Amino acid sequence: MNDVIISTHAVRKEFNGLVAVDNVDYEIRENETAGIIGPNGAGKSTFFNLLTGYFIPDAGTINYFGREITRMPSYHRVDLGIVRTFQLVSVLDNLTVLENIMLARIRFDATYRVRKRFFLKSLLASSEVDLCMSSLDTIGIADKANVRVSELSYGKKRELEIAIALVMNPKLLLLDEPLAGLSMFEINEIMGIIRALKGRFTIVLVEHKISQIMDLVEKLHVMHEGQVICCGEPNQVICDPAVQECYFGKEDAVCY
């Protein structure tokens, strides 16, 4: 069986007395593709922020390959291979596609920490360009390399954000609502990309569109009011009575 890549024990996070994540135990093994679902306000994004170091838990521990990282800053977690995308696409509109991805990649350049000055022009002449172009090619947008990001559709910006994540050498790829705000055509494109990445990376998705990920993930966790109320194989989880009531109410049960 593959090693556990990341795990949490009784993690808890409060905001002004409101418990957003309530004593959550969680683990994902290498090369698994897993989903986290739940209604609005369930604590999904807060939990993602705990995993990635944007928030520090008030209690509990987080371990990565057996090493405790509970209080480790987010940028150090990136160095270890914990890489994420955001619910709202986070790219720089005034730069080109290639410039965006190069800015993400520069932190891994051997001379990054000894540079006294940073010049984008010299960076674009470096050996890192081929690696960045390869990432764009994997996602299918290499032909957009010299296009200014402001000219891209929202769906293409989402694809760029995933390409940026890939160029940062992820061991754990966390996708926060990758289908949010997309048309059905764009959803199909993003789902095709994620399917192509499945098995190459350990992937965790937070998503509202349950039907889109049911046959993609091997493991599904359901959060409600800050707690994990059910986890396991997707079809069994979605048919659990507590999950049915949480999502659909007692009168409108739907089972995939």
pLDDT digits (tens, 9 = 90+) for 160-190: 999 999 999 899 999 999 999 999 999 999 9
**pLDDT tens string 23-40:** 999 999 999 999 999 888
Rounded to whole angstroms, the Cα distance separating 34 from 204 reads 5
pLDDT of residue 4: 94
146 three-class SS? coil
Whether 221 shows a pLDDT value over 80: the answer reads yes
For the chain, the domains span 4-92+169-248
More confident residue, 39 or 229: 229
Q: Is the pLDDT of residue 51 over 50?
A: yes
The confidence band for 245, taking pLDDT boundaries of 50, 70 and 90, is confident
CB neighbour list of residue 61: distance below 8 Å, 6 or more residues apart: 8, 9, 10, 11, 68, 70
What CA–CA distances, in Å, run from 215 to 34, 61, 114, 198, 252? 11, 31, 47, 12, 22
Q: pLDDT tens digits, residue range 87-100?
A: 889 899 999 999 99
Give me the pLDDT at residue 121, please: 58
Average pLDDT, the chain: 89
Class of domain 4-92+169-248: alpha beta
> What is the distance between the alpha carbons of residues 191 and 185, in angstroms, rounded to a whole number?
10
**Which token pair is 206?**
């937070």
Sheet containing strand 4-15, edge to edge, reads: 18-29, 4-15, 59-64, 67-68
pTM (2 decimals)?
A: 0.88
Strand boundaries in 46-104, DSSP class E: 59-64, 67-68, 82-84
The percentage of residues in the chain with a pLDDT greater than 70, rounded to a whole number, is 88
